[in-house]
């Protein structure tokens, strides 16, 4: 594997709407990000991925773009963006934007023109089909519920949207569409951003002509992944995109790739892959049910371990994954991956240790570093996210009572991760002086950045140790490139692995339970590099790990 400039870095995702509001309108903004750059630098962050901040009606919080070349006034101005890029560079930091090109907004100029003249050139920018007797071209179910086809008012024509109806899919089969997209990417890269996170990208290739797949629910619709399994040729588009944009700019790209075909992995993230890296979602998709969120199976520590190791094995000689415990589409990792009742500073630090010590590029999601947890919505009216609202309806239709349905969606709601960042114990967690667009988690009085900074043994200060260890010249090479070899893999509630470097071996031990656990080492350890407890409990080769204790040892 070729070494790349970004391999040893630490990345951080910002969801701008919920990060920091500087003008009191209740919505986070670019100036808020500029103000907090030093906070991120101090945490040890190098690469900052910012979820969409382009002009958008915010039907899907910015993942519905109406102008790729403009900043939404709610987030700021292009001058703010230029300043952000400049201020980041000053600090040796890299700005990565979100590339949403499977679809745009129905308020984008292209789509307006397509509606005005479906037969004209812009009609071919989208998938528009005539349905004479109202029979839809296929029975695919949109990710956010209902059929993927929406009628164009006053006509017998329908357009395709695999996400929300305000997110019409762009027709990648049209070379003109691809040219426009590459032009836009290059415009941003020329501006000085370091690269892109690439949204929902597997969906750009459709299995054509449109046809039905077997339905898995009473609605008669089929899940998109059946179509994706059959679609051939997404990589032709992706290589073309990389050759015209990322590669000439030596840009960083991280793909949001689901449902890829295993044999295609090298083409995605191998040395000549179309992306630098892609996210590991193996843990996030575990336990999902075709019936919906309400039917999903919670993950256990042993499942979690299996998911991580499976991904590591898959990419071992191929490339570099990006590791997360959460993002803006998922509940908080500490609420999901730590068994109920056990979520505390020890277990939070343990999860962080695993995420940072696996091979790959660690991505922190805003608030993860201070131990932010799920919020419990008291009523569905408090929820904003389109996906959660749909899953709530799915649960009701399946026969759950409103109370049960709310409980089911609370567990997985994307809004768990979208509540405002908790900066301090002041009003609205110090996020805004106005009214926050989404409810602040009431636990902000205990969990907030100011308190975490002040408290020596906080989760935040532990994350700083993790980023520092990753960059410590004495260990960086092993942590970044060392082979990952599981240790005592079948031991219940223990997640342990070696990282074997050229002349060095590290051992990561995580006791994934509240009861202590005894481990015998193969060789005595030379040095304790990290410990989420005060004392280690090591006697020669014998270790008694305390509840949720995590250790990084040099062997």
Residue 507 CB, nearest distance to ligand TEU (Å)?
34
Query: Of Ca ion, ligand TEU, none, which one does residue 163 interact with (CB within 5 to 8 Å by kind)?
Result: ligand TEU
Of the listed 46, 256, 330, 390, which one is catalytic? 256
Residue 143 CB, nearest distance to ligand TEU (Å)?
5
Residue 104 CB, nearest distance to ligand TEU (Å)?
10
**Would you tell me how many other CB atoms lie within 10 Å of the CB of residue 154?**
7
Which residue's CB is nearer to Ca ion, number 19 or number 356?
A: 19
Residue 29 CB, nearest distance to Ca ion (Å)?
4
Query: Among 397, 388, 362, 389, which Cα is nearest to 480's?
Result: 362
Which residue's CB is nearer to Ca ion, number 108 or number 418?
A: 418
Residue 200 CB, nearest distance to ligand TEU (Å)?
4
DSSP string, 466-478: HHHHHH-TTTHHH
Q: Which two tokens stand for residue 408?
A: 């089911």
Which residue's CB is nearer to ligand TEU, number 387 or number 549?
A: 387
**Would you tell me how many other CB atoms lie within 10 Å of the CB of residue 208?**
11
Query: Of ligand TEU, Ca ion, none, which one does residue 143 interact with (CB within 5 to 8 Å by kind)?
Result: ligand TEU
Tokens 């979690």 identify what position?
A: 304
Of the listed 199, 267, 373, 385, which one is catalytic? 199
Rounded (to 5) percent helix, strand, coil in the chain: 35, 15, 45
Which residue's CB is nearer to Ca ion, number 11 or number 71?
A: 71
CB 457 within 8 A of CB 345: yes
Query: Of Ca ion, ligand TEU, none, which one does residue 510 interact with (CB within 5 to 8 Å by kind)?
Result: none
Residue 258 CB, nearest distance to ligand TEU (Å)?
6
CB 215 within 8 A of CB 139: yes
CA distances for 356 relative to 362, 455, 506, angstroms:
6, 22, 13
Query: Of Ca ion, ligand TEU, none, which one does residue 27 interact with (CB within 5 to 8 Å by kind)?
Result: Ca ion
Which residue's CB is nearer to Ca ion, number 25 or number 404?
A: 25
> Quick check: bond before 477 cis, omega within 30?
no
Which residue's CB is nearer to Ca ion, number 57 or number 339?
A: 57
For Ca ion, the binding residues (CB under 5 A) are: 21, 23, 25, 27, 29
Which residue's CB is nearer to Ca ion, number 80 or number 326?
A: 80
Residue 26 CB, nearest distance to ligand TEU (Å)?
20
Active site residue 199: yes
Which residue's CB is nearer to ligand TEU, number 398 or number 450?
A: 398
Give the SS3 label for residue 363.
Answer: strand
Query: Among 136, 181, 179, 180, which Cα is nearest to 160's?
Result: 136
Residue 17 CB, nearest distance to Ca ion (Å)?
9
Query: Of Ca ion, ligand TEU, none, which one does residue 25 interact with (CB within 5 to 8 Å by kind)?
Result: Ca ion
For ligand TEU, the binding residues (CB under 6 A) are: 60, 63, 100, 143, 163, 199-200, 256, 258, 328-329, 387, 414
CB 148 within 8 A of CB 84: no
Dist CA 191 CA 69 (whole Å): 11
Query: Of Ca ion, ligand TEU, none, which one does residue 100 interact with (CB within 5 to 8 Å by kind)?
Result: ligand TEU
Which residue's CB is nearer to ligand TEU, number 53 or number 496?
A: 53
CA distances for 142 relative to 61, 106, 451, angstroms:
17, 16, 43
CB 413 within 8 A of CB 377: yes
Q: Which two tokens stand for residue 263?
A: 């044999």
Query: Of ligand TEU, Ca ion, none, which one does residue 36 interact with (CB within 5 to 8 Å by kind)?
Result: none
Residue 396 CB, nearest distance to ligand TEU (Å)?
17
Query: Of ligand TEU, Ca ion, none, which one does residue 373 interact with (CB within 5 to 8 Å by kind)?
Result: none
CB 216 within 8 A of CB 225: no
Active site residue 256: yes
Cβ neighbours of residue 490 under 8 Å, at least 6 residues apart?
none
Q: Which two tokens stand for residue 170?
A: 């762009």
φ/ψ of 248, rounded to 5, equals -60, -25
CB 412 within 8 A of CB 392: no
Q: Which two tokens stand for residue 489?
A: 């893999």
φ/ψ of 421, rounded to 5, equals -60, 140
CB 10 within 8 A of CB 362: yes
Q: Mind telling me the catalytic residues?
A: 199, 256
């Amino acid at each position: 594997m070729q070494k790349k400039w970004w391999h040893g870095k630490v990345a951080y995702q910002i969801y701008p709407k919920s990060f920091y509001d500087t003008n009191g309108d209740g919505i986070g903004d670019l100036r808020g990000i500029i103000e907090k750059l030093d906070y991120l630098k101090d945490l040890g962050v190098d690469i900052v991925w910012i979820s969409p901040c382009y002009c958008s009606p915010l039907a899907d919080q910015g993942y519905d773009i109406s102008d790729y070349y403009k900043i939404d006034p709610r987030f700021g101005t292009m001058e703010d963006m230029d300043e952000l890029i400049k201020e980041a560079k000053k600090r040796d930091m890299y700005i990565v934007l979100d590339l949403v090109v499977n679809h745009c907004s129905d308020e984008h100029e292209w789509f307006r023109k397509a509606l005005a003249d479906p037969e004209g050139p812009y009609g071919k920018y989208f998938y528009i089909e005539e349905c004479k007797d109202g029979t839809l071209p296929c029975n695919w179910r949109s990710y956010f519920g209902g059929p993927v086809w929406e009628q164009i008012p006053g006509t017998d024509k329908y357009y395709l949207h695999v996400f929300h109806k305000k997110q019409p899919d762009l027709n990648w089969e049209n070379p003109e569409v691809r040219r426009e997209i590459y032009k836009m990417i290059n415009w941003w890269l020329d501006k000085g951003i370091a690269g892109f996170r690439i949204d929902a990208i597997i969906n750009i290739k459709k299995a054509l002509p449109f046809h039905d797949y077997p339905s898995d629910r009473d609605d008669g619709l089929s899940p998109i992944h059946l179509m994706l399994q059959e679609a051939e040729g997404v990589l032709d588009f992706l290589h073309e995109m990389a050759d015209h944009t990322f590669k000439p700019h030596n840009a960083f790209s991280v793909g949001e790739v689901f449902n890829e075909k295993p044999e295609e992995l090298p083409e995605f993230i191998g040395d000549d892959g179309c992306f630098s890296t892609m996210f590991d979602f193996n843990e996030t998709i575990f336990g999902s049910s075709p019936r919906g969120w309400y039917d999903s199976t919670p993950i256990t520590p042993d499942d979690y371990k299996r998911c991580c190791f499976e991904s590591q094995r898959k990419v071992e000689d191929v490339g570099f994954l990006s590791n997360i415990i959460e993002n803006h589409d998922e509940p908080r990792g500490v609420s999901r991956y730590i068994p109920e009742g056990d979520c505390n500073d020890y277990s939070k630090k343990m999860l962080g240790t695993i995420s940072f010590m696996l091979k790959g590029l660690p991505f922190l999601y805003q608030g993860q570093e201070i131990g932010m947890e799920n919020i419990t919505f008291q009523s569905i009216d408090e929820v904003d996210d389109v996906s959660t609202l749909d899953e709530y309806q799915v649960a009701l239709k399946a026969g759950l009572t409103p109370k049960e349905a709310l409980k089911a969606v609370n567990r997985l709601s994307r809004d768990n991760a979208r509540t405002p960042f908790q900066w301090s114990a002041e009003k609205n967690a110090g996020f805004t002086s106005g009214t926050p667009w989404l409810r602040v988690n009431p636990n902000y009085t205990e969990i907030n950045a100011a308190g975490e900074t002040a408290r020596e043994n906080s989760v935040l200060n532990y994350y700083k140790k993790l980023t520092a260890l990753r960059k410590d010249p004495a260990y960086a090479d092993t942590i970044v490139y060392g082979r990952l070899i599981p240790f005592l893999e079948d031991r219940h509630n223990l997640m342990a692995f070696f990282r074997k470097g050229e002349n060095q071996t590290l051992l990561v031990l995580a006791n994934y339970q509240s009861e202590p656990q005894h481990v015998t080492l193969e060789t005595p350890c030379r040095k304790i590099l990290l410990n989420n407890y005060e004392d280690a409990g090591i006697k020669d080769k014998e270790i008694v790990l305390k509840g949720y204790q995590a250790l990084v040892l040099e062997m």
